[in-house]
Amino acid sequence: MGGVKDASWCAMELRLKTFLITGIMLVLIILGVYGIIYSTMYQNAMALEQRNMRNLIQDANARLADEATQLGRTLGDWASWDDTYRFIEDKNQAYIISNLEDASLAAAHIHIIAFYDKEGRTVLVKMVKIGSAPAGPVPPELAILPPDCPLLMHGNGSVEGIMMLGGRIAVVVSRPILTSKGEGPERGTLVMARYISKEDIASLAGARSITTTMWQMGGMVPTDYQSAADSMASSGNSTLIRPISDAAVAGYFIARDLHGMPVAIFRVESPRDDYIEFEKNSLYMLAMLFVAAVVFEALNFVLLDVFAISRLKRLGDQAELVGKPNGNVETILPDGGGDEITHLAVGINKMLARLKSAQHALLRSQVSYGRRLRNDVKRKTRQLADANARLRSMERSKNQFLFNIGHELKSPLAVIEMNLAAGKNMGKGQRRESERMIKRNMERLKQKIEEIIQLSRFEYGKDVQKEELDFASLAKDVAREYQDFASVKGAKIHLEGAGRRLMVQGDRRLLQYALGNLFSNAVKYCDRKDIYVEVARKGRAAEFSIANHGEGIRPENRRKLFRKFFKEDPNAPGTGVGLFMTREIARGHSGDVWYEPNKPRGAIFRFSIPANGGGLDEKK
């Protein structure tokens, strides 16, 4: 699956790839920037909202305090009035009738006015009748003031605050009753209260868009007020600000009575102008960012296409032309400018140059290879022809050998036959010579037959049967056989070293044949001069050497001497296998035979095979 995806990605056009990559990058950057800006703006908007709300709460508190101050001012007039001073003393009805009139008190927004003597005993509690509704009962909180009532703790000043009066919240102020000159002694305490109505609460708000509501503690309180109260109680804060919807934010604060007990929870509600502005701004910013991204991407696409991709495409098209079957490797691709694409084009050009030179080298090597191949074929053909010629020559030689061996066998046979036929009419002397001739030719016959047998043995694998034997003694025996032949040829054989034992591991019959062959040749071509034979130990070898003073071997024939069927004179008698077999026998004994020219003329043949260890010892 990954592979398929990779393949489709690889197959995509470069400009699309670039478009996708930069697009993804841009989206990520925009989201990141937007996130950072959004969170900063959000925090600012929220902080602003909080600050504004705190100000609103302060305003509401201030207005509440103003109510008390206003009431306190009215109370001050009353408390430092000599009539009031006297009234505490004499409780005169006229004061009540002339001063505590419902309509004027209601106009001053006074709902309760209460008089207490200096011991705190109730003198009078006047419930002001407002409108057509009857005056309510005296709230128990004011009916009798307990000695520790905060209202009595005014000293020479005043006490202002909020209290629950008969289950309703009221602004309450108290002052000591003094003379109009503000002198004592203090006759008692004057208390005024004004109930706080829903309208009063609503008027706490400074602007129309801001609403203030209040709920008394301990009674039925809506859940959001209750949770805000709980939250403030647990955190110890006196205010709490939190949004109640996307459009509005609320600030809660708790009002405490003169005892310090919470009596009411206020909620100032304000539209979330800052937040809504922030939301709008952030959306606008996001839109701007996206517009910028689109413009950037389009510009990027166009510029990339103009400055890179179209050039790359041209380069690719040209390279493709070069790559076609009949494409010209010498085509030089455009490489103007100096950027990476130029670098690429230069690289391709260099590669083309290398390719061209490699092509030429290949051509050259093909030509030279072809020449070498032709030469090889020629040489092999020549070798084959040579081998064929050699084979034909071998065949001819073989035929010649058969022809010659016939002669070699028939000649001594004819001699024997003729001597036997002539025998009837011979004299005594002639007869003896004839008998020697018969014997000699029977030997020749035997030797030729032996030669054929040995040759066939060599043809079918060398069969050397070794035994320990005295090489010197063997040479002596063979020499004796050829003594007679030599004398016919007008020569004598001189043997040296045959008196010492020279032990070798050898095949007696083969060694006899080999040495016999060397004797035969030496005698045949002795030119009526004596033959010198030596048997001696040379280092680790037993060496037999035979030298004559005949014509010797012509230099051009010396290398061919030991070849099978080779005859220096093709017309001469003989089979041409003697020296070949002599060498085979020497090698079959891990030795060798070689030719050396004799001085002043003639031939020396040396036949050498390994001698047994222990050296020479004198024969007994």
Residue type, 57: I
CB of 429 to another protein, least distance (A): 11
Tokens of 258: 């003169």
Q: Provide the angle, in degrees to the nearest 10, between the axes of the packed helices 310-323 and 340-422.
A: 20
CB of 571 to another protein, least distance (A): 4
Alpha carbons within 13 angstroms on the beta-carbon side of residue 417 total: 7
CB of 493 to another protein, least distance (A): 18
CB of 460 to another protein, least distance (A): 22
Q: Which is nearer to another protein, 132 or 425 (CB)?
A: 425
Q: Which is nearer to another protein, 321 or 414 (CB)?
A: 414
Q: Which is nearer to another protein, 321 or 420 (CB)?
A: 420
Residues 6+ apart with CB under 8 A from 192: 71, 74, 75, 78, 110, 112, 113, 114, 172, 173, 174
Residue type, 154: H
Q: Which is nearer to another protein, 372 or 410 (CB)?
A: 410
Residue type, 444: R
Using CA atoms, how far residue 4 sits from 10, 11, 13, 21, in Å, is 10, 10, 16, 19
Q: How does DSSP classify residue 330?
A: T
Secondary structure class of 434 (helix, strand, coil): helix
CB of 584 to another protein, least distance (A): 23
CB of 552 to another protein, least distance (A): 15
Q: Which is nearer to another protein, 332 or 414 (CB)?
A: 414
Residue type, 293: A
CB of 433 to another protein, least distance (A): 7
Question: Is 548 in contact with 603 (CB distance < 8 Å)?
Answer: yes
Q: Which is nearer to another protein, 423 or 615 (CB)?
A: 423
Per the omega criterion (within 30 degrees of 0), is the bond before 185 cis?
A: yes
Cα–Cα distance, 342 to 347 (Å, whole number): 8
Q: Which is nearer to another protein, 334 or 573 (CB)?
A: 573
β-sheet bridge partners, residue 468: 505
SS (H, E, C) 480-530: HHHHHHHHHCCCCEEEECCCEECEEEECHHHHHHHHHHHHHHHHHCCCCCC
Using CA atoms, how far residue 356 sits from 317, 326, 620, in Å, is 19, 14, 90
DSSP 528-585: T--EEEEEEEETTEEEEEEE--S----GGGTTTTTSTT--SSTTSSS-S-HHHHHHHH
CB of 425 to another protein, least distance (A): 4
CB of 372 to another protein, least distance (A): 49
**Binding residues vs another protein (CB under 8 A):** 402-407, 410-415, 417-426, 430, 433-434, 437, 440-441, 488, 569, 571-573
DSSP 248-295: EEEEEEEEE-TTS-EEEEEEEEEE-HHHHHHHHHHHHHHHHHHHHHHH
**Cβ neighbours around 576 below 10 Å, total:** 19
Cα–Cα distance, 569 to 7 (Å, whole number): 86
Q: Which is nearer to another protein, 17 or 492 (CB)?
A: 492
Q: Which is nearer to another protein, 194 or 444 (CB)?
A: 444
CB of 532 to another protein, least distance (A): 23
Q: In 305-427, where does DSSP find H-type helix?
A: 310-323, 340-422
Q: Which is nearer to another protein, 297 or 443 (CB)?
A: 443
Torsion sign over Cα 229, 230, 233, 234: negative
Residues 6+ apart with CB under 8 A from 125: 112, 113, 114, 115, 138, 142, 143
CB of 421 to another protein, least distance (A): 4
Q: Which is nearer to another protein, 80 or 419 (CB)?
A: 419
CB of 403 to another protein, least distance (A): 4
Secondary structure class of 183 (helix, strand, coil): coil
CB of 411 to another protein, least distance (A): 4
Using CA atoms, how far residue 390 sits from 40, 134, 384, in Å, is 107, 161, 10
Q: Which is nearer to another protein, 312 or 413 (CB)?
A: 413
Element (H, E) at 441: helix 428-459
Q: Which is nearer to another protein, 389 or 420 (CB)?
A: 420
CB of 524 to another protein, least distance (A): 9
Q: Which is nearer to another protein, 412 or 602 (CB)?
A: 412
